[in-house]
Chain A
Amino acid sequence: MSAVPASHDLALSPPVGWRGLISDWSSDREAFHIAWGKAMMWIFLLSDTFIFGSFLTGYMTVRASTTVPWPNPSEVFALHVGGTDVPLLLIAIMTFVLISSSGTMAMAVNCAYRRDRINAAALMFVTAGFGEMFVGMQAFEWTKLILEGVRPWGNPMGAAQFGSTFFMITGFHGLHVTAGVIYLIVVAVRLLRGKYEGGGGNYQIVEIAGLYWHFVDLVWVFIFALFYLW
């Protein structure tokens, strides 16, 4: 008699300890009715939001608390074109390049849903090209500022915190763009090679990569407004 209820008991009372923890967290309950990859990308982006949010809050704190005048970004980032200084010209071009890349990425996602993998991959390469262009212009901007004497610990234009927040925030964003370019190229190449054709073809990965890319553009919207325009 004692051997029979063993399995019966197991079904009634859930396992305890580590085994219980695993069964509780994996008992086929879904909060989000979307592909797991997409849910995980959203959760990663949420965590990234907090990283950039904390950076920008830190920037606000040091800028509001310094008694030394903050360098005027409009003048610091001006370009000398045709005999006059055009304020923020390079930054404006970078903004338009990144928005264009977001547009081509949206088109790539749309093509992927139409199951047009050739155009989806082509548009992803165009997006990566725009991203690389953005990083190139950022490298130019960094070089220009470093030659003008801007350092993380000081600069000739004003408050020392300008350099540290500038290199930290734009550097971390540039790192995200660079990672995104690599990510897009990898996904586009795998798409062309037919790596996602299993099970009738699932191009969800294009939308997931797109989420990351749009997020990078989103962060730039905040950096552009709060760092360069403020």
Chain B
Amino acid sequence: MTTGTGQQHPIGLYLKIWGLLFVLSTLSYGVDYFHIQGFLRWGLILVFMLLKAGLIVAVFMHLAWERLALICAILLPPLGLLVLVGLMAAEADYTYLTRLFFFR
């Protein structure tokens, strides 16, 4: 484990992650190409998205080898966005129902 200043890793690691990102992108494109619908579609899209994002942040951006203080400072604040998403989902539902009620 490095202290975060020197990030020297074997080049094969990057090639593997690169290949994995290609595979994951192909799979998520396949979700659309083969017209998968419903919860399976949304679930697969989110899983592939999070896997790709995780690989990029952890390996390409070297966050997996950084100190925990930096990891927490970067990864914890965006969780606040989930609160916003929750609030806005409820608000969007309400707006949708109100529109159905008044504009039909």
Contact = CB atoms under 8 A, between A and B. Distances in A.
15 contacts: A34-B4, A53-B81, A60-B92, A61-B89, A64-B93, A65-B96, A74-B32, A88-B33, A92-B25, A92-B29, A96-B22, A99-B25, A110-B14, A224-B49, A228-B32
B61 A211 contact: yes
Interface residues of B, number: 55
B51 to A, nearest CB: 9
Query: Contact residue range for chain A?
Result: 35 or more
Contact of B78 (A53, A65, A103): A53
A54 interface: yes
A211 B5 CA distance: 14
B contact face: mostly helix, strand, loop, or mixed? helix
A33 interface: yes
Interface stretch (A128-136, A171-179, A189-197, A215-223): A215-223
A88 B14 CA distance: 27
Contacts, number: 150
Interface string A193-218: 00000000000000100110011011
Interface string B19-58: 0011001001101110000000010011011001100110
A32 interface: yes
Contacts of B21: 99, 102-103
Given A31-B73, A225-B28, A229-B45, 12 more contacts: A34-B5, A34-B66, A34-B70, A50-B81, A57-B88, A61-B91, A96-B22, A96-B25, A102-B56, A102-B60, A105-B60, A218-B56
B57 to A, nearest CB: 7
Given A53-B84, A64-B93, A32 B31 contact: no
Given A99-B21, A221-B53, A214 B61 contact: yes
B3 to A, nearest CB: 6
Nearest to A47: B77
B77 A99 contact: no
Contact of B96 (A60, A64, A100, A222): A64
Contacts of B84: 53-54, 57
A201 B5 CA distance: 14
Interface centre among A33, A105, A229 (most CB of B within 10 A): A229
Contacts of A33: 3-5, 67
B56 A217 contact: yes
A106 B14 contact: yes
B69 interface: yes
Interface in B62-89: 62, 66-67, 69-70, 73-74, 77-78, 81, 84-85, 88-89
A67 B99 contact: yes
B70 A99 contact: no
Nearest to A63: B92
Contact of A49 (B17, B49, B78): B78
Nearest to A207: B7
